[in-house]
Structure 1
Amino acid sequence: MKTQHFNESITSTFIEQVKEYAIFAMDPNGIIETWNEGAERMKGYKEEEVIGKFYGMLFTDEDRASHKPEQELEEAKTHEQFQTEGWRRKKDGSLFWAGLTLTPIYNDDKELIGLTKVTRDLSDKRRAEQDLTRKHDELVITNRDLDNFIYTASHDLKSPILNIDGLVNRLISLFEDKGIQDPELLELVGYFRKSVDRFKTTIADLTTISKLQRTIEDESNLEQVRVQQVFEDILDDLKFLFEASCFPCKVQSDFQVNALNFSRKNFRSILYNLLSNAIKYRSNGNNCHIKVSTYADGEWVVLSVKDNGLGMSADDLAKLYTMFKRFHDHVDGSGIGLYIVKRIVENAGGKIAVTSEEGKGSEFKVYFQS
């Protein structure tokens, strides 16, 4: 008995001295019987102001009117414990966001003899969450404005650049009709032609990005994608790249998972970009060897595209998904393919990873939710 009394004394002293949490005990009807220092600091009431009173005094007027204190008591008695977060009132009338745990206490005969309530001030946490939500909303608005700007700019620039393109073509025709062979003039017209072509490519890329932002499918557009079928379809489209290769290019496939739930159009875009890059960035000194595979990895279905091509340095890997970023000028491209792949994958709740070594090749792994 002495040991039990000593332990109860230690526990009581500990609770009384806890300052970060408001801890108090009530009888089965919610009448406050104990009040620790943390409760006084948090709520502003001294012990003599609350002992013997119904704990509903700590709730907001609205919660008391809707009988929320009584409901919490019943929930705790029914489910052995009740946890929630919500507004609570201090003595001075101010409100704070609280995390609450209400626990029933039973004697040795399993009779309810009271309840304990532990409260923690979560106002800082709530403010942080609200700030994060606000920043997220601001970012969504900024991205939407940026998308609208890209769409408008790419649309409005099409007409004048087509006019310039027509004028350059007309100038070339005039030179040919008049037999003008001045090297300096012809060189200047060539520069005009290259600049116009680059401008047209940039506009096309901006249009592609704008369409991507506006048309990334959500989960309602999921369908059963047959990987082998999409793979064979892409190989037919890439025949021109195989024919342009100076060295034989061998593509192997191993589809352990041959069907997955995804947007077929977006899956095709992902595989097309990864496979065409593997072919375009092949090593000129080796036969091109590419392996495309799928397999299950826990909660993921993984698409792997592995090659023995040029590979990338650590510095290049850090900038890999940057829009319009290209590492090899000898290969045609705009530098938006991998940016698009990453956006599609992450918008669908997946992820993408890459390992690469200069001169030895690269492996891209795309993780789809299974």
Structure 2
Amino acid sequence: MQSKQEQITELLELNEELENYFYNTIIPQLFVDSALLLRKYTPPAMKQFNLSEAHIGKPIADVTENLRYPTIIENIKTVIKTGEILAKEIQTTDMCWYQMNIIPYIIKSKNTTNGVIITFVDITPRILDLKDQEKLIIEHELLLDTIAHDIKNPITAFGLSIKLFKKLSAVQKDMLKTLVGNLELSLLTMQKVVDELTETRFQNHKYQAPAELLSIENLIEDVRLTLASQIFERNAVLKLDLKHTQISFNRRKFRSVLYNLINNAIKYTPEDRNPEITITSRAKKGTFVLEVSDNGIGINKSDYKSIFEKFGRIKDEVEGMGIGLYLVKSIITSVGGKISVKSKIGEGSSFKITLIDDTAE
């Protein structure tokens, strides 16, 4: 049996170890008890959330103004009640982004939750990288498509000119023989370049990123983080109904598809209503079906075709270049898939993507 003094000494040593951990950790952490009072915090939390010793013992609500996350109190209560970990991404007032984990503090001897430990992991670089990556993807896709397709028109005109040259009289042909030969060689060279670019763009080129088994939930989460500012500012809600959650596809391209559809849904929702975006997925007879629906301004039936054309836009005052849906269709049709739209003016739109998928039953 330990003496009382030995027990006190052991507790002091344990407390000293705990204090050393608090002092040296680089992760902001808050310790909140079941009465929602702030009991302890790590030094990084003091710096990030402007905390001081005066906050100890006071309601956590007194420091929530440092977060752009109004439901934190409700989330803490939910974790205390359920005993389950909750993870969310939040933005602080200095525009930094954090992965916030609310972890129940469980007293094992009593099997009760006596509060929570809240940790914050800085994910700002990840979100910035995702945004930059999405811009590069759009620029890359547009450049390749422009080179591989738009240049076909002048090549066609080039070929017609050569045919006309060949129909000239014998005397004229002798004079232009060398010129026509050079033109024809140039045409063949240009056509070869276009064919190679087209193959790179749409088929299994050796430098193309391979398809892989993707988690739809994880890709949606990546896109949600990329569009976090827009989602927050518009108070947008993403609803998921995923009956089939995996598909074999190029990660970068499928993320671009989701990004453009969700981004458009937010942009084309009137300012007087909060965007509500529903994403559903299902398997149907060897195909994967994904639908992204919104409560936006809607699209006229007469515009169904034009919205998928390059620079096709239905609302000029909305920011953008009009290439998002064009790229989405290019990506989907390049692998033999289909995309369609149904819409009602003033009520919203629904984009349906159908892809062949061996994993779908």
**Under TM normalisation by the shorter chain, which class is it?**
0.3 to 0.5
For normalisation by structure 2, the TM-score amounts to 0.46
TM-score, normalising length: structure 1: 0.45
Select the structure of larger CA radius of gyration: 1
